[in-house]
A and B are shown apart, each in its own frame.
Chain A
Amino acid sequence: GQQVQQSPSSLVLQEGENAELQCNFSSTATQLQWFYQSPGGSLVSLLSNPSGTKHTGRLTSTTVTKERRSSLHISSSQTTDSGTYLCAISTNAYKVIFGKGTHLHVLP
């Protein structure tokens, strides 16, 4: 089955609203990363957060390792935040497993 599940699959917000993205995973993760993929396809690393809470700018990620879940909170969303947010975990030394992503669309 799907090792990394993200929800919701898509989300539409008005500019200024907050977004809460979820990631659940079925295996023990040694590392967890959140990525942003632009509509053009390029990949940007947002946060690396295998456990606990991390902040950067308007982003906050909380990972509860024992419960195998992580969240990404985007505060005061902007139209430029539109794109796909990917959650990815490492379960061993050699690869990262990606979720299918949450497609975020922020309306002006």
Chain B
Amino acid sequence: QQQVKQSPQSLIVQKGGISIINCAYENTAFDYFPWYQQFPGKGPALLIAIRPDVSEKKEGRFTISFNKSAKQFSLHIMDSQPGDSATYFCAARRSRGSTLGRLYFGRGTQLTVWP
């Protein structure tokens, strides 16, 4: 059972446009939602993360929007650049009552930004 559902599977955006990737979850015990960015041949790198006590978090051109009631969160990349072309993974984790901090990942979105 997929704990975190991610869409779209692939996304093509023009340079300067806005890239939007969406994720949804069912487990209301999740309390930490990171996004990872992965370039070909590399491991995923933490991009930005949010906790459910805020509805939005912005770091540079990257913004996470979080809707707790809908159990959805999304990544917005403003002014998308060719260098943003990568695979993006959303994830979720339950921190309380767990020393492991296991992450549940979406299946990834391959973003291509055309120059």
Is chain B a partner of chain A in the same complex?
no
Interface positions of A (Cβ within 8 A of B): none
Q: Which residues of B does A touch, CB under 8 Å? A: none
